[in-house]
Structures are given as structure tokens and as C-alpha cells.
Structure 1
Amino acid sequence: MLYQAKNNLQKLTAIVFLLYCIFLIIKKYSWFNLAVVVLILTFGMLSYFDQKTTDIQLTDQTQILVYPDEVKIEDGWLSGIGKTEQGKVTIAGNVKDDQNQYFADGNPVILSHITGEIETISPATNCGEFDYQKYYAGKKIFQRIKIKSCQFVKSRVTIFTYLHRWRYQLQQYFKKMPRLVGFFASELILAENPSKDNQEILNNYRDLGVIHLLSISGLHVGIYTLVISTICFRIKLTQEETFLCCGLILIVGIFLSNGQPGFIRASLTYLLGQLFLLKKWKISGPDLLGLTCLIHIFFVPRLFMNIGAILSYVLVFGLQITSHWSNFWRSVSLNLLLTPLLLFYFFQVNVFTIFFNMLIVPYFNYVVMPIAFLNILVFKNIPGIGQVSENILEITEQIIANLSETKLGLVTFGKISWWQCVLLLLISAIFLAFMNEKGYLNKKKGFFISAAAMYLISFSMIHFPLQGQVTFIDVGQGDSILITTPYPRKVYMIDTGGKLNFSGKKVTPQVNRITIPFLKSLGINQIDGLFVTHQDADHVGDIGPLMSQVHIKKLYTAKGLSKNPSFKKRIEKYMDQTDLIELLAGMQVKEFQIDFQVVYPFKEGEGKNEDSLSLTFVLAGKRWLFTGDLGQDGEKEIANNFNLKVDYFKLGHHGSKTSSNPEFLQKISPSEVFISAGRNNRFGHPHQETLSTLRQLNIPWVSTQDCGMISWYYGFKEPSFSRFLPEKKE
């Protein structure tokens, strides 16, 4: 209610669940009534004060404590998390070679005499995009410091110095291992991916529905406690002494995993269980999990802003109430319980997850984990074992990659609403409860049918929409526009966005972070037509990564662009199942519910700005016009050859003064114009000259810089606009 609920209905739902949980505790532990009330009041006060935050001010006295294991330095660029007296911040900035040496021995560093800028961490600006603002808010980090210059001073030595140095040394140790061995060792001990080169492995495990195997959780705690308990037994320590030894090791494990929620949950459960056993107090498995959760939230009020924490607790809850079932039905039930959360957060699910778990879990438990822990122990003295291990993992991981590439069982369902998620979770929980009872066969069938019907309705609402849309995707300094029609839904896109890569290093395409998640949230895995305006990277740079993940049926370009060597290189290996169609002014692309009319170029070109493919179409009685980066000369040609009156116009060249000729704007007479440009872009788009022209002509405008993603919906009700970011209050 305090951290997630955004409207009154969500808050009311949270309060209902809270009251229900209080009722359950009071009914089960009637003698505990007073303690329950005290606990709730304490939670309330802690959460209230936890919400209060202090803005960090950058002054001459500001100092930032930086631990080497919490930052990364690549090509002289420092990024990570630092600590000030007021709280934690994320930091980023250039470092010199001599400053870099301060971190080499693993000691913490104090940054002082800092010059730079401090800003609020930016939220997601597109539907489906990962929200770093929310992610860091869960860690009580709200601000970012962009450092221009600073001085480095070694920090004083404390107990935390040794712990962070040890963690840093482990990071460096894992980096020396072969790639796959180091990746699994780092994931299993430190709960972090040591390199961007391993993202494909994470994607493979996620698509197969077995990503949970890479989370540090109960299995790891079980291994640690088993080893420690065995050693303690051999040296004849008492049960209490063994408990203390295990507790100490688990605390160290929590630190090494950087407070990974699953590991804390498993460690707390073990320690509480052992404590109850020593005291000979009786407690059921689900109650033990509930007590663990309460204590966890007590110390980390923002716990459930972390999706990993939610999945961890829900999964273990499912394991608790299905402990006596067969492995098959247990897997079915757990997937039933987790699916609503997966659809709400990740928009897709693999219907064959049960079978992939049966295949990959044994491999992970009996191959990956032994190899990882063996290398952790002996790689330093016997480095040759690392290459042998790497050869084994390369073979097995390639098999998993091939299996993932088939997309077997993977359903791009789309994003369900919060109330659909809550309702499906309730249906799943009640269904599991009845599965535990005898004589309730009819009710089991009823809830199973209810769940199936709810999924079918949700799927139909996403994949057979009554509304279409025109959406300006916020791709920063670039263009990418999605156009869909109501059922039967057809999907079109104008440009893909993208960025120039000056470093020459492999970088994650922007489309993977923005466009692909957005398409998945809509349940889209195929585009009927992709229109490319011209060759610039900010319009077509991500076409290759997009085509590698989403089937493009038809690719439309202005005539001549397909001969451009740079453009050919981007698309040539993805064209097996895509038709390439070249267009010139006067041609039309006629589809079932929409006709695209080409108004530029009039002759074959090379794909430059002045050759930009320009399109107009009508939806719900409203005419749209898109001209790419076309300049004023091209606009005049359109005005001279077409008598266009448009309702909505995407301003040319991101609002540059080289486009949007006043006479052209007067002639097309748009009711509103849209600007797609990056925040604080180096070109200064949109230019003040262009904005002045719009003011003089009384043409209102909106920009992705201010609004984030901008969508126009039409269909069974009156067309309407929505902006992803809330409007700023003056």
C-alpha cells in the first residue's frame, strides 16, 4: 500500500489483504493479539519513516565512500554505488589511470572536492521498459551524481574494509576463470553477472522458464549448512555451537551475495527453524515461512519492490503447501502460482517449463554446481581444470541455447493488468488449497475452469484488441513509431531508433531495452510492415537486432536505400523470410484497415535525409503525416504536389530548424505536432527557431522529452491521447 499502490483501488485492495492477514494471525494465535497490534503499529511507523527521504546536496564538504566491489571501471569510466552521510547514491564519471590504481588493492576510496551534477534517477519512459528509478528506490537510492572531477583519498580501515576487499578479490578471481566457469561461479556466490557477454545465457534460461536456477536461494543454503554441519559433527561440536557456526557462515554468504533476497529468505528460514528446534517449539512450515517474511520486511520495508523477492517467497510458499504431492503435480501447481507474476512483470511464459525443469535442473545440480564450486576451490592452484570445465560447459550450454532458439513452448502473452494478476493469484491459491482437501473434486474442476477462463479472457483482450494505436516510442534521440489496428490486429512500424557505437565494442542494442519489451507487453511477436525512412543510425540503427527477434513480414524503403552498402549490411542476414519493397511518391500500400500513401521521395536516392521516405494515412477520420528527417526543400516539394491537410504531424528531423518550413506548416495546418528527440541531446533539438514558428502559428506540440512514450488510441470509443510520464506541475 505504501510503496506500490498508485490509486485508491490499489490501496483498498492492499488494506483488505492486510486486514485478512491480521484476522488469520489473531484467530490462530489468540494469545498473541496484543503482540500482533504492537507489531502492526511498529511496521506502520517504520514504513512511514522509511518513506521520508533527504535530498543529497553536492557541496564542497560532500564526500562519497566507494567500495571497489560496488563499482565498475571500463575504459576509464566509473559507475556504481557510493555512500554519503545522507544516504546512498549512484555515481558515474571519468577516472584517470592513477585514480584507478586506488581500487587495485581492493581498498575503499573517499571521493572529495567533487564537481558535477546531481539529479533524480530517471524513471522508465516506455511501457514495458525496466524501471531503474523503482529498482533503486527499493534500495533507498533516489539520486545520481554525474562526476566531472574529484580527488581520491584512501578510506580508514574497518571490518567492512576487509569484507568488501574479500568480495572484490572474489570478483577479480572469477574474472580470471574461463568465461562460462567464471559466470556460474559469480552468479552462485556473488549473485551478479560479471560481464555483458553473458546476457545471452540469462536470456536462454529465462525463455525456457528456468532462470530461477541462477538465483542464490535454498539449495545453496542447504549446501553450506550441510558442509558446515558435517565438519562440526566430525570435530564433535555441540548442536548450539554448530548452529552458531552455520549462522556466521550464512551471514557472510548474505554479504557476499549483496543481500540477495532469496538467500536472506533461505538463511532466515534455516536459522529460525533451528532455533525453534533447539527450544523445542513447534511451528509448521508455512508459519515458519510467514515469520521469516515478517522479519525480513521488518528490516527491509521495501522488500517487495524487488520482483526477485516476490517470486522467491511465492515459490517457497507453493513448495510448502504441495510438499506431499508428486513431482509432476507439484511442478504444475507451482507454475500455476507463478504464471500471473511472470505475465505481469515479463509478459511471456513457457508452457513447457515443467519439462525443461525436469531436463535442466538435474544438469544444473549435478554438472554446473559441482564444476563451479570445484573451480572456486582449486582453480588458483590448478588452472588447467578451468579449461576442461569450460569445454564441458560450452557443449551443454550450446545445447541449451539451441533449445532456447526454437522458442518451443514460449508464448508472448502480453502484460496483464494488476487486478488480473491479483485475481489469478487468488484463483490459483484457492485451487491449490482445494487440491489439499479430499472430496472437493467438483470445486477443483470449477476453480481450474475459472483459471483457464480468466487466462483466455486476458489473452483475448491483449491479442484481439478493440482499439488500435499510434505510439511514439521514446527511443531518445531518434524515431520509432508503432501503428496497430483493432481486431484483426495488424502491426506496422516506422523506423526502429538506434544509436551510433563509436567505441567499437559490443553493446546491448537499445531496442532490447525499449522496443522489444514494449512489443512483448502488447503480445506482439510479428510486424506486418516496417517502414524505414532513411539510413541514419538514430532511425535504422537497431533494425538488425529487431529483425533477429521479431518476424518482419514486409520491409518498405524509399527506392535506392537498398543499394546503400551500410544499410545492406544491417539487414542482409535477416531477409530470408522478409519481402523488400521499394517505394516512391504516388505509390500506396493498401492494407485491410489502413492505406499508407507515399508522398516522398519523387526519385531514387541514396537514403540520406533529403531522401526520407514520407508517409500519410488516415485512422478514425484523422490524417497523420510522417516525414523522417526531410528538410525544408523536400517539404516544399510535398506541398507543391499534394494538397494535404493533416490532423497530426510528426515534426521533421526531431524539431530541427532545417525542417518544418512555416509555409509548409501553414499549408498542412496540423491540429497538433509531435517531437521525438532525446533529453539533453547534443544537437539542441528541438531548436528554438522551430518552437517559435509553432507558437506564431498557434500549433500545440508535445515531445517525448517531456512525455516519454506518447500514444493515441482509437476504436470502439472516442480517440484519445495518453502520455507515459505524468505531467510536471509548475
Structure 2
Amino acid sequence: MLPILILFTIYFSSCLLYDQKNAEHQPNQLSKIEYQPDSIEVNGNRLSFIGTSCGKKYQVYYQLKTEDEQKFFKNLDKNGTLVFTGTLSKPEGARNYNGFNNVKYLASQNIYRQINIESINGIQTNSNFSLQLLRRRAIIHIQKKFPSPCSNYITGLLFGYLGKDFGEMSDLYSSLGIIHLFALSGMHVNFFLDWFRKIFLRLGLTREKIKILQIPFSILYAFLTGLSISVIRALVQKLLPYRKIDNFAMMLILILIFMPKALLTIGGQLTILYAFAMCMTSFKKTKKAQTNVVNYLWSSICLTLVALPLLIFYFHSFQPLSILLTFIFSFIFSTILLPLIIIAFFVSFTGIIIPCNFIFLVLEGLIRAIDKPLHYPFVFGSPNIVQLLLLFIFTGLFIDFYRHTKMRLFFLSGLILIYLTCKYPFLPTITVIDVGQGDSIFLQDRFDKQNILIDTGGKVSFMKYAPWQSAQAKTNAEYTLIPYLQSIGVGKIDHLILTHTDDDHVGDFLKLADKIKISEVLVSPGELSNPVFVSKLTKANLPVHVVKTGDTIPIFNSKLEILSSGYTGKGDNNDSIITYGNFYGSRFLFTGDLEREGEKELINNFPLLKVDVLKAGHHGSKTSSDPDFIERIGPRIALISVGKNNRYGHPNQETLETYNKNKIKVLRTDLYGAIQFYRSSNQWQIRTVK
């Protein structure tokens, strides 16, 4: 055993050193890139793909200029090289706590730079064949021959490809906890290999010959499904001549040798964990489990318990009924949909299209109906590393000692306690969430007993797009605000304050309401004069409270006070709701997009106002932070929520000089990412993501 461990240590150490060297030694400029055909993604006027040059991989982005250019790339079914003018840059790391880290994600695929193409100067296609090209041609064929949503199910279940137009349904499947049905793995591998064996047995081949033929078939299937780690894991286990733990051990050794970064990916960690759990829990079935249904449910419960810590570590929420839904829809997918789409796919090459789209329309209608009462999954929050390890240990011991009543209760109590500490943070916090060029501030009391969100962020759109340019895209909040809230266990917002009607403050309100429950929305009278904003409130169908000066919300053993419900009555910048709180001896002022005229009004109404921490108005623009206002309120810290490299030039240099002159510490989200105040050792501590 020791020599094996030493060999693995040497191997992975050399892989790590090579990886670091590869990450550092990257070119500064490129003009040609060989695209990977099955990675091409056209979404409106956006083009993205993975390319290679001199043995190095790159993530490539380009904004399509014409509709003809869009059609060309949608139908591109040849290998080739792109000649371009563009820039290389490093991927962006996480900008919020528990946020998505694109650097680590791309590094797990051996990608360390991304290319932003400014102009395409030429495309050199060739007749070279590859299995990735075969996958690309199959996907294009399906998209041309079959209508939506049928085409999405065929490409998803046969080739592991889901287009951007499947985004809404993907969200619904995710909220129900059954999106893994589209992650090609054991169910799909077993289905295809079992039918492969049956067909060749019927043709008279011996089992020994079939075992040999399975190898090239498995390689072909792996490439056609995009070399997914879950598919490779399932194929290796299916082909190995070992059983139970020996099968798992040999699979893991082979995976780590040939795919040393497998465990750096979410998919790799989950599929290996599921394989280990299936191997170990197969010995734990109760004596009463005589039927296949009971066996399946017992195994599913064990698998869910084992995988739950890792699932909430990455995704923060869980749908308790997903076990039952998986049981039902696995049967539908494996016995009805898979045979149907295989027949439809192969028959389509004869020119005959089986009219089966109505089946998928009925299925999606069923999914929507089920989702309505179950739309909001249970939010656990994200465990830290220590909590994650404890959850795995206690889960394993709980399953091992399930028949021992006292031990079972002990480990179950431990699990519940750890999960509660994930969901209910002990420390009170005030967080300026990095939502790019916008505002979103979250106040959370200890144990989440009261929370307040001020604004949601959102994108301001200045351009009108032609129909062909319209892209299916997630909102900004789905990348920033919502994952952060769920990662700290927030399944419900008690009070949402929408300061005014600008999109960079309230643009993602509806998406937030769709993902997280909101008890109450607070708005100013002036905001109700904006018909577009009012239509959003109506669509959200939530309790609305129109604030007035002097209103308070209890939090932090104190209160958040409304100093102004707006000065103009128009819902514009100077109509921003202004809030103030003295929390544990530190005075916080949140001003929305308040400009100089509003600042003067505020001082006139509250001439003795003093502040320790100021959320700067209007992202630090020159229209706000009047020198007299800053001098009068005397803040020690100024918080500026602003997008990196934004088009407005925020924060303005004049504003920064005002802060510097008054010796005010400036914390900016474009430089530091999310900014958080947390109460520890009887005082507010400050930390930032960067």
C-alpha cells in the first residue's frame, strides 16, 4: 500500500507543478485559434467556443455582427481555424462570498486565458474528421429536423447538450431537484450498453466477443456525449470485471491517472461520491426490503443523505420531494422518452419525422404544474470546510449505526445541529453585495431572525436589439445576489426596500421574487408614479408597503429608520429612500442614488446628522457626495457600489478627492468585490472578497 501511495503522491505532485507552469506560461497575443466544433454555442448575437492553439486551450467569446454571420456559425459543421483580432485576458475570480469562481472552473478544464474577439478576419475550414465533429453534426441535424422542445430533449438525453432556449425548463427541473436526469451518467450508460448487448446476442455473437466490441462502442459513446466525467465513470465501472468496492477502487485509480483534475470539478466530485455511496449502501438494506420499490427508495434515501452535504456546499438548497420525483421521472425517462427519442433520431435520417413533440409539451406542462406548489426549495446555506467534513462523517456513521437506536439518534441529532449552524449564521452582518454597476445591500441579524435587503441590482440596457440579436441570458442577480443569499441560508427576505426605480437598483426584482420568498416590499410614493415599476409590483403579487419618513424596521437590537421617503415624488435619484441605523454604536447611512440636491435636503431636515459608515450616493459620481455634505456628516468609511470598468467612469475622481481630503477610507466593490461588516469581539469587523 505504501509504495502505491508514494507513486500517487509523486504523480499528482508532478501534475500540480506542470499545471502551475502551464498557467504561468501563456502567450500575450494570438491571431489564430482552432475551434472545438462541439463546443460552439450561438445565443442571439453571442458566440462562444473552446479553442486550441499550440496545445493550449482557451475560452473564446465574440459578438456576432450580422445575421448571416450568426447563421454561418449555427450551421458550421467542419473543423477549422479562426483568424481574428482580439485580446487575451485572465478569467474573473469570485467577487462575492461563496460566489462562482470562473478561474477555478476553467482551470479544471486546463483553460487559463479567455479571448475576446473584436473582429474575425477569416475562417479556414478543413475536411479533417473527429468524433467531436460527429457530435456537432448530430446536434445540428436534430436542431434542424425537430421542433422545440423535442429537439432539446433529444440533444440533452442523447448527446449531453442543452441549448440556451432550454433555460426556463432547466430552472424548473433544478428547483424540483431532478435536473440530474439530463446529466448523462449511470442510467443512460446502463440503458445503451444493455441494449448493445441484447442486440448483438440476438445476432448470435458470443459474450466474449461482445465484451471486446463494448470497448470501442464505449469510447464512441464517451466522445458523443462530450467526454462527460459522469459518463466516463459509469462506462469504466460497467466495463471493469470487478465487483462492489474493488470495482469502485479500480475505477477511481484509472480516473485519477487519466483525468487527474476530475475531483476538481463539481460533476467529478458528485459522480465519484454517488458511486462510492452506491457501493457502500448496497450492504445496508434492511431485512424488510423485499421489493424492488422498497430497495430503490432505501438506496435513494441513503444516496441523498450521503450527497446532501456536497449538494448544499455548491447549490445551497434542496427539494425534499426530489427523491420521489426522481423515482417517478427516472421511470418516465428510461422506459418512455429514451426509446422514443432514439427511434425518432435514427428514423429522421430517412426523411421521416415522427410527430412526438406533443409528448414533450405535455411533459413540460406537467413539470410546470408540479413546480407551482413546490417552487421554493428548502435553503440550507453553504457549510464551511469543517462543517462539510463533519456532515460527511456523521452521515456515514448514521447509516452504519442505523439499527442501533441510541447511536442513530445521537448521530441524527449531530447532523441536525450542523445543518442548523449552516442555515442560521451566528454573527450579524451588513454586506454590500457586488452586483456590478448597481446597488444591493443585505442586513442580516444573528440566527437570521430578521433580514433586510436594500435594492436588488440589475442591468441597464441602452440598446435596442433586432430579433436575431436577442440572447437567452440569466439576470445579473442569478450570478451574484441570489447565490449569495442562498449560501448564507436565506430562504425568505423579511423586508425588501426598493430605493427608486432605476434598473441598476430594482431591475432584478422579479427574478429575486421568483427564487426567494419575500414577505414585504417597501417603496416610496414617488415610485408608484412609474407605470413600468408598478407593473413589476403587480406581477410579483407581493405585499407592498408605501413608506413614510419616520418609519422603522427592528434589527440588530436597534432599528433601521426611514429618514426620507423621497424628495421629488418622481421615483428618480433624488427620490431615493434614505435609511439610517445606529447598530451596536456605529452609525450607518444608506442613500441609494441620492445626488447633491437631495443631500442638501437631508442636511436641512437633519442638521445634527452624524455618520460612521456612508453608502455613497449614485455610485460615487460627481453629481453626489457634495463636499459640504460629507464634511457635515463626517463619515469614517465610504462604501461605493460600482461595476468594474463601467462605462460611466464611476467613481468620479472629484468625489474620491473629496473623501481623501476628509481622510475617509473608501471601499469599492470594483476593487474589493463584496464588502462585509460582521459583528465580532463586541465590534464591527470588515472583510472583503479580494
Q: TM-score, normalised by structure 2?
A: 0.91
- Specify the SS of the correspondent of 1:296: helix
* 2:78 counterpart residue number: 107
In 2, the alpha carbon distance for the partners of 1:50 and 1:56 equals 12
Shift in Å at residue 134 of structure 1?
Answer: 1.6
Alignment equivalent of 2:172, drawn from 181, 187, 204: 204
Is 2:192 aligned against 1:228?
no
Q: 5 Å matches for 1:170-209?
A: 170-176=138-144, 177-195=146-164, 197-209=165-177
In 1, the alpha carbon distance for the partners of 2:594 and 2:376 equals 44
Is 2:44 aligned against 1:78?
no
Shift in Å at residue 357 of structure 1?
Answer: 2.6
- Specify the SS of the correspondent of 2:592: coil
* 1:94 counterpart residue number: 63
In 1, the alpha carbon distance for the partners of 2:160 and 2:82 equals 27
**Cα pair 2:36 2:49 within 8 Å, conserved:** no
**Cα pair 1:91 1:146 within 8 Å, conserved:** yes
Alignment equivalent of 2:387, drawn from 384, 395, 420: 420
- Specify the SS of the correspondent of 2:344: helix
Judge which range, 338-347 or 448-457, deviates more.
Answer: 448-457
Shift in Å at residue 541 of structure 1?
Answer: 0.6
In 2, the alpha carbon distance for the partners of 1:580 and 1:378 equals 59
Is 2:339 aligned against 1:370?
yes
Amino acid at match of 1:616: Y
- Specify the SS of the correspondent of 1:719: strand
In 2, the alpha carbon distance for the partners of 1:62 and 1:322 equals 53
**Cα pair 2:579 2:589 within 8 Å, conserved:** yes
Distance 1:56 1:34, change over 3 A: closer
In 2, the alpha carbon distance for the partners of 1:153 and 1:476 equals 35
Shift in Å at residue 166 of structure 1?
Answer: 1.8
Shift in Å at residue 449 of structure 1?
Answer: 2.5
* 1:23 counterpart residue number: none
Judge which range, 216-225 or 263-272, deviates more.
Answer: 216-225
Distance 1:515 1:565, change over 3 A: same
Shift in Å at residue 626 of structure 1?
Answer: 1.4
In 2, the alpha carbon distance for the partners of 1:511 and 1:551 equals 15
Which protein has greater RCO, CA pairs closer than 8 Å, 6+ apart?
Answer: 2
Please give the per-residue CA displacement for 1:541-573, whole angstroms capped at 9, x wherever unaligned: 111222233232222222221121111122112
**Cα pair 1:654 1:685 within 8 Å, conserved:** yes
Q: 5 Å matches for 1:155-554?
A: 155-160=125-130, 163-176=131-144, 177-195=146-164, 197-273=165-241, 283-323=242-282, 325=285, 326-381=295-350, 384-386=353-355, 389-407=356-374, 410-434=377-401, 441-442=403-404, 445-487=405-447, 489-501=449-461, 502=463, 505=470, 507-554=473-520
- Specify the SS of the correspondent of 2:435: coil
- Specify the SS of the correspondent of 2:428: strand
**Cα pair 1:78 1:93 within 8 Å, conserved:** yes
Distance 1:250 1:75, change over 3 A: same
Alignment equivalent of 1:695, drawn from 657, 660, 666: 660
Amino acid at match of 2:390: L
- Specify the SS of the correspondent of 1:301: coil
Q: TM-score, normalised by structure 1?
A: 0.86
In 1, the alpha carbon distance for the partners of 2:422 and 2:310 equals 16
Amino acid at match of 1:607: G
* 1:627 counterpart residue number: 591
Shift in Å at residue 88 of structure 1?
Answer: 0.6
* 1:123 counterpart residue number: 93
- Specify the SS of the correspondent of 1:139: coil
**Cα pair 2:566 2:577 within 8 Å, conserved:** no
**Cα pair 2:147 2:357 within 8 Å, conserved:** yes
* 1:9 counterpart residue number: none
Is 2:608 aligned against 1:608?
no
Amino acid at match of 1:121: P
Please give the per-residue CA displacement for 1:122-155, whole angstroms capped at 9, x wherever unaligned: 0121124332222111101111111112422314
Shift in Å at residue 189 of structure 1?
Answer: 2.3
**Cα pair 2:79 2:129 within 8 Å, conserved:** no
Distance 1:426 1:147, change over 3 A: same
* 2:642 counterpart residue number: 677
In 1, the alpha carbon distance for the partners of 2:364 and 2:651 equals 47
In 2, the alpha carbon distance for the partners of 1:124 and 1:579 equals 34
- Specify the SS of the correspondent of 1:219: helix
Q: 5 Å matches for 1:22-61?
A: 26=1, 34-35=3-4, 37-53=6-22, 54-59=24-29
In 2, the alpha carbon distance for the partners of 1:512 and 1:291 equals 39
Shift in Å at residue 367 of structure 1?
Answer: 2.1
- Say how many residue pairs are matched: 668
Distance 1:500 1:170, change over 3 A: farther
Amino acid at match of 1:397: E
* 1:141 counterpart residue number: 111
Amino acid at match of 1:427: F
**Cα pair 1:632 1:660 within 8 Å, conserved:** yes
* 1:589 counterpart residue number: 552
* 1:5 counterpart residue number: none
* 1:19 counterpart residue number: none
**Cα pair 1:675 1:703 within 8 Å, conserved:** yes
Amino acid at match of 1:480: S
Distance 1:267 1:460, change over 3 A: closer
Amino acid at match of 1:142: Y
Gaps spanning 5+ residues in structure 1: where? Answer: 1-25, 27-32, 274-282, 436-440, 726-730
* 2:688 counterpart residue number: 723
In 2, the alpha carbon distance for the partners of 1:37 and 1:635 equals 67
Shift in Å at residue 286 of structure 1?
Answer: 1.5
Shift in Å at residue 515 of structure 1?
Answer: 1.5
In 1, the alpha carbon distance for the partners of 2:57 and 2:674 equals 30
Shift in Å at residue 598 of structure 1?
Answer: 2.7
Distance 1:186 1:666, change over 3 A: same
- Specify the SS of the correspondent of 1:343: helix
In 2, the alpha carbon distance for the partners of 1:409 and 1:121 equals 32
In 2, the alpha carbon distance for the partners of 1:627 and 1:144 equals 37
Distance 1:38 1:554, change over 3 A: closer
**Cα pair 1:106 1:164 within 8 Å, conserved:** no
Distance 1:426 1:194, change over 3 A: same
- Specify the SS of the correspondent of 1:83: strand
* 1:280 counterpart residue number: none
Distance 1:77 1:412, change over 3 A: closer
In 2, the alpha carbon distance for the partners of 1:461 and 1:222 equals 39
Amino acid at match of 1:301: P
In 2, the alpha carbon distance for the partners of 1:464 and 1:582 equals 29
In 2, the alpha carbon distance for the partners of 1:446 and 1:180 equals 51
Amino acid at match of 2:372: E
Q: Percent identity?
A: 28
In 2, the alpha carbon distance for the partners of 1:610 and 1:679 equals 24
Distance 1:51 1:447, change over 3 A: farther
- Specify the SS of the correspondent of 1:192: coil
Please give the per-residue CA displacement for 1:25-52, whole angstroms capped at 9, x wherever unaligned: x3xxxxxx64554344334323432333
In 2, the alpha carbon distance for the partners of 1:374 and 1:249 equals 19
Is 2:582 aligned against 1:636?
no
Shift in Å at residue 524 of structure 1?
Answer: 1.2
In 2, the alpha carbon distance for the partners of 1:482 and 1:549 equals 16
Please give the per-residue CA displacement for 1:303-352, whole angstroms capped at 9, x wherever unaligned: 11111111112112222223363233222211111111112111112223
In 1, the alpha carbon distance for the partners of 2:308 and 2:447 equals 26
In 2, the alpha carbon distance for the partners of 1:41 and 1:713 equals 42
In 2, the alpha carbon distance for the partners of 1:267 and 1:353 equals 26
**Cα pair 2:499 2:577 within 8 Å, conserved:** yes
Shift in Å at residue 267 of structure 1?
Answer: 1.2
In 1, the alpha carbon distance for the partners of 2:400 and 2:55 equals 47
Gaps spanning 5+ residues in structure 2: where? Answer: 286-294
- Specify the SS of the correspondent of 1:420: helix
